[in-house]
Structure 1
């Protein structure tokens, strides 16, 4: 069990230390909001796409064999979504709060914290498998987010058609999805390997992606929101950092997953609430204060939950 605990600390601590650095920079006014916004945009539009593209292109992983993992992830997402929808309908009276609550539970931060933790745990192979998993489940996340946030309309022009159009545009222009589709197409075609300056440039961008993203995540932490959670944000946080990981383990066992596949499923599902959830809530007129509280609390506390779960799974030889 000691080895399992060391494994869990090893995969979580680098993330916490980088987030801690970002928080330190913010507190000492070394990272302004403008810097955080620009750096986050740089990571999302250039660094993460390079990381995903080259991790897939360079990998020898047989992605057809990952279908069981992907289906398990889809099942976990749907159970979390439907379960939280039922709970919200019964116990949450304000329409502006329901969708925020639901999204806070089912939508995890796979692109930054999930991928970074998987990379720490399994290296390049885990990163390649995690990238494909993330690409497919991200599409589902966006669709379900629009469905649950559609309870609140900001204007008469905000209709199902406009929302559906928005989702399609977001998916079609999402740099991460474009990078993954491009990587699959490159591997499928009889093209020569990418070498030389192109690959070197891609590697440099990819190397920046996760460290800078984690620093920005730490710099974005709102300590006041984290230390002053509402009852509703605590309920959503429990759903994200306790129920979601336990459900992922149960579904993974039901699908017969073990080793790296169970590890990827658990770490992706156990990640804190996605930062994109706050942005979407803002855009669609939901309770953005509630969204910020859920995001802040799960970002910090969820990391320790991931460590505990990883140690237990490792101790039983499941990841």
Structure 2
């Protein structure tokens, strides 16, 4: 049991410490909103793509087990999506709230919180497996988000074809997806390993990605929004913090996942709501205040939920 507790603390506490540092820097005026925006863009455009690319290129992943892991992740995402859609159709009347609620339930922070906890738990091997998982599930996340947020739009004249074109453009220009496709192509062509200056530069960029992303995430936390949540915020957050992790365990076990693959699935699915969800909700005319509240509440509370769940799974020898 002691080992399980230490494991849970090891994967979560470093993330919380970096987020607390970002929050402290923002409160002390040491990190302006301009800095946070520019640093977040730098991480998304250059550092995370480098981390994902080299994680895949350097990996020796068992793609048979990886396919099962991805299938489990896709199924969980679809169950959460359609479950939230049915719930919102019955209990939520405002169209501006519906899509934001649904997105808050099914969309987790894969690339920052998920990947960083996996790195803390499993190191390079975990990063390699998590990178491939992100490549597939990110595409699904963006597609489902556009579908549910299209219930309301800032432009009432915007047609479905234009919305589909918009999400397709975002997918094919997404730096994370492009980096993963490049990595898969490099592996498929059996090209020689990347060494020397190229790999050293990639390692330097990769090493910046997760710490800087966590600091920016912490600096973006709005405590006032978290401490005064609406009813819908609490409901969506409860689904993200409680229902999603439980579903991950049930689906993971039913798919026969154990060890590192079960760990990756659990940590990816149980991660807090994605920061990108707030940006997309605001851009498409959804209730951005609700999106911000869900993001804040799940980011702080959800980290402790991840620790408890990981500790229990470790104690039972499942991850």
Helix, strand or coil for the counterpart of 2:192? coil
Q: Over aligned residues, Cα RMSD in angstroms?
A: 0.7
Map 1:206-285 → 2, pairs under 5 A: 206-285=206-285
Equivalent residue number for residue 178 of structure 2: 178
Structure 2 CA distance, aligned partners of 1:64 and 1:173? 28
Supply the distance in 1 between the matched residues of 2:106 and 2:19 (Cα, whole angstroms).
23
| TM-score (norm: length of structure 1) | 0.99
| Cα displacement string for residues 156-207 of structure 1 (whole angstroms, at most 9, x for unaligned residues) | 4311111100110000000000000000100111321111111100000000
What per-residue deviation string (whole Å, max 9, x for no partner) do you get for residues 244-279 of structure 1? 000100100111111001000000000000000000
Q: Helix, strand or coil: the match of 1:271?
A: coil
Q: SS where residue 60 of structure 1 aligns?
A: coil
Q: Is the aligned partner of 1:141 residue 2:117?
A: no
- Find out whether 1:305 has 2:311 as its counterpart: no
Separation of aligned partners in 1, 2:26 and 2:264: 31
1:34-183 equivalence runs, <5 A: 34-183=34-183
Q: Separation in 2 of the partners of 1:157 and 1:175?
A: 29
Listed one character per residue, the Cα deviations across residues 118-148 of structure 1 (whole Å, up to 9, x for unaligned) are 0100010010000100110000000000110
> C-alpha deviations, 1:84-119, integer Å up to 9, x for none?
111111111111100000000000000000000001
User: Cα deviation per residue 1:63-100 (whole Å; 9 max; x = unaligned)?
Assistant: 24310000000000000001011111111111110000
- Cα offset for 1:60? 1.2
Residue deviations 1:271-302 (CA, integer Å, cap 9, x gap): 00000000000110010000000001001000
Q: TM-score, normalised by structure 2?
A: 0.99
Unpaired runs of 5+ residues, structure 1, are none
**Partner Cα separation in structure 1 for residue 199 and residue 225 of structure 2:** 42
